[in-house]
Amino acid sequence: MDSVAVLHTYVFLLSFASAFLLGGKRPLLALSTRVLLVVLLALAVGYAVSAAQWYHGYVGVATLIANAVFVGFVAIDVRNWQRRRSER
């Protein structure tokens, strides 16, 4: 399989998942988590664009930190969503 085709597949999946998480009628994620997802996507784009810049490493570290915080926020949101569902 060509690496460009794999990259396009991952970009499509990331875009689809992000659009699903950001634009749902009954969102699973809280507003703060959706805002953090937008920040994370902006950092990822900034990291990809700044390949030859001096700040590339800093943007990479910021992206990793934002990703870890996002995963934690999602875990909290999913737990709260499950708790609300079980109370019904």
The Cα–Cα gap between 80 and 77 comes to: 5
Give the tens place of pLDDT for each residue, 7-27. Answer: 667 777 777 777 777 777 777
Q: Are 78 and 30 in contact (CB under 8 A)?
A: no
Per-residue pLDDT, 15: 76
Which whole-number Å values give the CA distances from 8 to 33, 60, 75, in the listed order? 26, 21, 28
Number of structural domains (the chain) is 1
Per-residue pLDDT, 2: 60
pTM of the predicted structure, to 2 decimals: 0.77
Beta-carbon neighbour count of residue 18 at 10 Å? 15
Residue 72 has pLDDT above 90, yes or no: yes
Residue 37 has pLDDT above 60, yes or no: yes
